[in-house]
């Protein structure tokens, strides 16, 4: 396994480069107990500096980041540098007064609404929602790529993903912690 900190940002960007076609990618941090939030109810208590560096690289070229309302309520607004944020929220109750880019925000009452709101030139779709949002997207769209950070050896991948449909593209480790960063791409279907 390669030590992630030994790689430069451009080298990591090459590993996580987006394909030119419509791509739904999941990016998620998994804790020891299989959840995506730590004791404080957020991912902040699970993450590391290296995990955040990889997250920034993955987000950099995303056209759209999709997440659930609870993630925004607990963690705040994190827009991709150039793209939009689509927040799934049945109630629409969000801290809009603190939103830094309301012009780049779409609040979707359903996943169907979110998918219909995607624009023709938006083909790099990153899902960062919690487990509920990720499961919903997987069931209705099916991810093309999956980037998971495992906090330690006890962390397990979500059971709603059939990893036999994917090929492991990259596996990195962080020597200052037990974290591993695994990245899968959907396997080519036989003709």
- What gap in Å lies between CA 65 and CA 34, rounded to an integer? 22
DSSP-H helix ranges across the chain: 9-15, 49-60, 69-75, 111-117, 131-140
Of residues 153 and 134, more confidently modeled: 134
What is the tens place of the pLDDT at every residue in 42-93? 555 566 778 888 999 999 999 999 999 988 988 889 999 999 999 999 999 9
CATH superfamily assigned to domain 2-186:
Dihydrofolate Reductase, subunit A (3.40.430.10)
- What gap in Å lies between CA 10 and CA 79, rounded to an integer? 21
- Please tell me the predicted confidence (pLDDT) of residue 131: 86
Indicate yes or no: pTM above 0.85. yes
pLDDT of 188 over the 60 cut: yes
**Could you state, in order of their start, the residue ranges of all structural domains in the chain?**
2-186
């Amino acid at each position: 396994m390669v030590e992630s900190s030994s790689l430069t940002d451009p080298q990591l960007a090459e590993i996580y480069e987006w394909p030119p076609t419509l791509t739904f990618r999941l990016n998620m941090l998994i804790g020891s107990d299989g959840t995506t939030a730590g004791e404080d109810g957020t991912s902040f208590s699970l993450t590391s500096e290296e995990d955040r560096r990889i997250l920034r690289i993955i987000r950099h070229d995303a056209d759209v980041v999709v997440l659930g309302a609870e993630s925004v309520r607990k963690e705040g607004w994190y827009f991709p540098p150039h793209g939009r944020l689509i927040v799934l929220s049945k109630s629409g109750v969000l801290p809009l007064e603190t939103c830094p880019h309301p012009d780049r925000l779409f609040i979707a009452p359903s996943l169907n609404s979110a998918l219909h709101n995607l624009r023709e030139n938006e083909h790099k779709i990153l899902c960062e929602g919690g487990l509920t949002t990720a499961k919903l997207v997987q069931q209705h769209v099916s991810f093309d790529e999956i980037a998971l950070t495992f906090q330690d050896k006890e962390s397990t991948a979500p059971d709603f993903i059939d990893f036999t449909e994917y090929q492991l593209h990259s596996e990195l480790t962080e020597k200052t912690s037990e974290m591993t960063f695994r990245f899968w791409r959907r396997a080519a279907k036989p003709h």
